[in-house]
Structure 1
Amino acid sequence: MLRHALPRAVPVFLLFLLTACGQEEPVHVSISPVLVVQPQPSALASHSYPGEVRARFDPQLAFRIGGKVTRRLVDEGERVKADQPLAELDPQDVRLQLQAIRAQVAASQANLNLVRAERYRYKTLLDRQMVSRSQFDNAENLYRSGEAKFQQLKAEQDVASNQASYAVLRAPQDGVIAQRQVEVGQVVAAGQTVFTLAADGEREVLISLPEQDFARFNLGMPVSVELWSQPGQHFSGRIRELSPSADPKSRTFAARIAFQAGKVPAELGQSARVYIQGEGASALSVPLSALSAEKGAPYVWRITQDNTLEQVPVQVGPFGEKTVPVLKGLKTDDWIVAAGVHVLHPGQEVRPIDRSNRTINVAAKE
């Protein structure tokens, strides 16, 4: 009986097994993230100069009067607010001068009251024809002289009051004390620099240009800036300022580079390198890790508008330590894969990310 039932059970079991296999969920294919970069101006096709990040405005602060420093209220590197006191001079001399002027103003005020009363009395007597015209004119002149003297001393009092306030040096705006050149007990002259303030706001890069190449630089020339703290990331800039004369010691010309981007993560004193494109040079560079080859022909993986990969043959120059110049095949707005190129294949869908792990929208216009 078992022999007769077994052949009937086997087809039923197979049918159940095939039905279960048909109900399996489809396998989900994940989209792999890839590190992407844009080609940068090749160092072999440009000239690079080391520089230092500076503030766009760095005024040198000084007392408007001379004197002995009695208090220093801030240190180098300290952040200050606008109108914050930075240092003070001995105010004794300016206070005594202010007191002397105030006393002269009081005396002049009393004299003015006297000659004003005399003028009024002589005017009354003149109307009654009891004094001559010359006597009245003399009283009038004394009154005008007294009034002029009072106005002069009043102005001198205002000057002395301002001089007393100048004994306290205050910050003109928010910023950081970049340099300090004064100590308590030091006697300074009016206009002598005691602090250098790095004002908040824009940042620039200060570089030195050799005199043999200075003639080929001009204001507004585009450059590329690389911060030491962010290697491989370039920020666009321009030459904002060129010194008209060479430094007497180094025989180089100072130049200031302004960033063209809105806000650049550059801090005061950071090291930077400025790349200035050479005349007639248009080569780009990519990281060595982005380059691959097939049968001796070099190529890179470029991200298309729909986030898929395409293989792009390129013509390269001499290999550098970290980058290789690309003479033909790429444009500055291309996005290429910078790592893991040996496991990719044409048409593969990927998710492009930059070095800060941010997703890149390749279709967006820069």
Structure 2
Amino acid sequence: MHFPRIPLPRTGAAAAVLALALLAACSKDAPPPEDVRPVRALTLAAGGVNASAEFSGDVRPRYESRLGFRVGGKISARKVDVGTSVQRGTLLMQLDPQDLRLGQAQAQASLRAAQTNADLARAELKRYQDLRSQNFVSQAVLDQKIAAAHSSQASVEAARAQLREQANQTGYASLVSDTDGVVTGIDAEVGQVVQPGTPVVRVARTDEKEVVFGVPEDQVDELRQGGEVRVRLWADPSRAIPGKIREVSPVADPATRTYTVKVSIPASEEVRLGMTAVVDLVRQSDHAAGAQLRAPLSSLVQNKGASSVWVIETVNGAQRVRLQPVQLGGVAGNDVLLAGGVRAGQTIVTAGVNLLKDGQKVKILSADVARRGDAEAEAGGGK
């Protein structure tokens, strides 16, 4: 007898498949390893440093005279060119002296006429004195003759003074240098008619020179406190010339908004007028306070308008970074002075600061960890 085959339910297989599906749904991928970023770091060290700043300027004479004729006239000769070295009394320019000579001749004629009148007045006075002694004239008439004689003598003195003045003006037709120096500019040429006092030649003294440059308004107050000044010429950057701040302008230039500073330098033939110079201003920080630490400019991060640095700290055995705001105390060459926010002994990131985030794990490149103390600070400030 044949019975039909009845299929059995596949309960065990279904359960196994369901279990595998549940396990697959509940399982998650293993978290990726935390990114560790290699950085360069520096351990801050306390010590006095020299805050320095460099400014570009040019060499100028301390004294430069704009010379002009004391009388007016037409320029007839020019004896010097720009760059000519002159001595005291060297002839620079000449005016046409013809009109001045005519004036001098007129003054001489006036003096002779005044002397003739004075002689006549004295002769008349002598005659009237004789007549008065014989009582032929009154005392009043004699007094008039005495006054006339005195007046004529005064006219002689006035004419003589006029002649001397005219003779001086004739001598003023020649413009001479009043000092030893060099001609730095010519403002008039032959044939030009000039008025008295019009500048025609510029002469600069070469015995005293200075470097003139502009300082931003945020540094001028610190500059007035003084400090060491060194000047280097572009023609010879290896040579440092000691200088002294002579003048700081109290008013900013309306165009550049900078304050003009003048630094006196020793006289030297190697330093020529117009040379470009770099002025290095060095101010010694307070060594005892120890408030300023030195760090590279590359370690600074701008966060919400404030300057900050990444401080490396050890958290649960791992080195992580934390953003720390700092106060700046100035610039020293390629480094910045940290006046607050960090302390000596802390380690900060010096390279790769823009790729970090707060709490990120880092790896310090051991070859780049360094300490900066007094010796290196002194070397950096005395570059």
**Which structure 2 residue ranges, 5 or more long, are not aligned?**
1-48, 293-331, 337-371
DSSP-derived class of the 2:212 partner: strand
- 1:329 corresponds to 2:375: yes
Name the CA distance, whole Å, in 1 between partners of 2:136 and 2:110. Answer: 35
Larger Rg: 2
- Name the aligned partner's letter for residue 204 of structure 1: E
- Name the aligned partner's letter for residue 258 of structure 1: S
1:158 corresponding residue in structure 2: 164
Q: Conserved in 1, the CA contact under 8 Å of 2:226 and 2:283?
A: no
- Name the aligned partner's letter for residue 190 of structure 2: V
Name the CA distance, whole Å, in 2 between partners of 1:332 and 1:202. Answer: 32
- 1:120 corresponds to 2:134: no
The Cα shift of 1:158 comes to 1.3
- Name the aligned partner's letter for residue 121 of structure 2: V
- Of residues 232, 248, 268 in structure 1, which corresponds to 2:273? 268
- 1:57 corresponds to 2:63: yes
Q: For 1:59-78, what aligned pairs fall within 5 Å after superposition?
A: 59-78=65-84
- Of residues 170, 182, 185 in structure 1, which corresponds to 2:176? 170
Q: What is the RMSD computed on CA atoms of the aligned residues? A: 3.4
- Name the aligned partner's letter for residue 156 of structure 2: F
1:233 corresponding residue in structure 2: 239
Q: For 1:204-219, what aligned pairs fall within 5 Å after superposition?
A: 204-218=210-224
1:295 corresponding residue in structure 2: none
Q: For 1:350-365, what aligned pairs fall within 5 Å after superposition?
A: none
Name the CA distance, whole Å, in 2 between partners of 1:329 and 1:264. Answer: 36
Name the CA distance, whole Å, in 2 between partners of 1:242 and 1:318. Answer: 26
Q: Conserved in 2, the CA contact under 8 Å of 1:71 and 1:88?
A: yes
Structure number with the bigger relative contact order (C-alpha 8 A, sep ≥ 6) is 2
Q: Conserved in 2, the CA contact under 8 Å of 1:177 and 1:196?
A: yes
1:280 corresponding residue in structure 2: 285
Moved over 4 A (4+): 219-222, 261-264, 316-320, 330-333
- Name the aligned partner's letter for residue 159 of structure 1: E
DSSP-derived class of the 2:155 partner: helix
Moved more, 69-78 or 230-239: 230-239
DSSP-derived class of the 1:233 partner: strand
Name the CA distance, whole Å, in 1 between partners of 2:377 and 2:78. Answer: 56
Q: Conserved in 1, the CA contact under 8 Å of 2:227 and 2:282?
A: no
1:108 corresponding residue in structure 2: 114
- Of residues 183, 186, 194 in structure 1, which corresponds to 2:189? 183
Residue 188 and residue 330 in structure 1: after superposition, are their counterparts in 2 closer, same or farther (change >3 A)? same
Q: TM-score, normalised by structure 1?
A: 0.62
Name the CA distance, whole Å, in 1 between partners of 2:107 and 2:269. Answer: 53
DSSP-derived class of the 2:235 partner: coil
2:9 corresponding residue in structure 1: none
Name the CA distance, whole Å, in 2 between partners of 1:144 and 1:219. Answer: 68
The Cα shift of 1:327 comes to 5.1
Name the CA distance, whole Å, in 2 between partners of 1:219 and 1:264. Answer: 31
Name the CA distance, whole Å, in 2 between partners of 1:197 and 1:317. Answer: 38
Name the CA distance, whole Å, in 1 between partners of 2:286 and 2:204. Answer: 37
Q: For 1:250-265, what aligned pairs fall within 5 Å after superposition?
A: 250-259=256-265, 261=266, 263=268, 265=270
**Which structure 1 residue ranges, 5 or more long, are not aligned?**
1-41, 284-315, 321-325, 339-366
Name the CA distance, whole Å, in 2 between partners of 1:170 and 1:80. Answer: 10
2:88 corresponding residue in structure 1: 82
Q: For 1:139-150, what aligned pairs fall within 5 Å after superposition?
A: 139-150=145-156
Residue 214 and residue 329 in structure 1: after superposition, are their counterparts in 2 closer, same or farther (change >3 A)? closer
The Cα shift of 1:278 comes to 4.9
Moved more, 224-233 or 164-173: 224-233
Residue 145 and residue 235 in structure 1: after superposition, are their counterparts in 2 closer, same or farther (change >3 A)? same
- Name the aligned partner's letter for residue 265 of structure 1: E
Name the CA distance, whole Å, in 1 between partners of 2:281 and 2:204. Answer: 26
Identity among equivalent pairs (%): 34
Residue 132 and residue 98 in structure 1: after superposition, are their counterparts in 2 closer, same or farther (change >3 A)? same
The Cα shift of 1:332 comes to 7.0
Deviation per residue, 1:43-100 (Å, 9 max, x gap): x932222111122321111111222211111100011121111011122222222211
- 1:135 corresponds to 2:181: no
Name the CA distance, whole Å, in 2 between partners of 1:317 and 1:127. Answer: 101
Q: Conserved in 2, the CA contact under 8 Å of 1:94 and 1:163?
A: yes
Residue 110 and residue 98 in structure 1: after superposition, are their counterparts in 2 closer, same or farther (change >3 A)? same
Q: Conserved in 2, the CA contact under 8 Å of 1:220 and 1:238?
A: no
The Cα shift of 1:220 comes to 6.7
DSSP-derived class of the 1:185 partner: coil
Name the CA distance, whole Å, in 2 between partners of 1:87 and 1:235. Answer: 37
Q: Conserved in 2, the CA contact under 8 Å of 1:46 and 1:281?
A: no
The Cα shift of 1:319 comes to 7.8
- Of residues 96, 99, 103 in structure 2, which corresponds to 1:97? 103
Name the CA distance, whole Å, in 1 between partners of 2:52 and 2:243. Answer: 14
Q: Conserved in 1, the CA contact under 8 Å of 2:231 and 2:240?
A: yes
Matched residue count: 258
Residue 241 and residue 127 in structure 1: after superposition, are their counterparts in 2 closer, same or farther (change >3 A)? farther
Q: Conserved in 1, the CA contact under 8 Å of 2:231 and 2:241?
A: yes
Q: Conserved in 1, the CA contact under 8 Å of 2:74 and 2:194?
A: yes
The Cα shift of 1:168 comes to 1.0
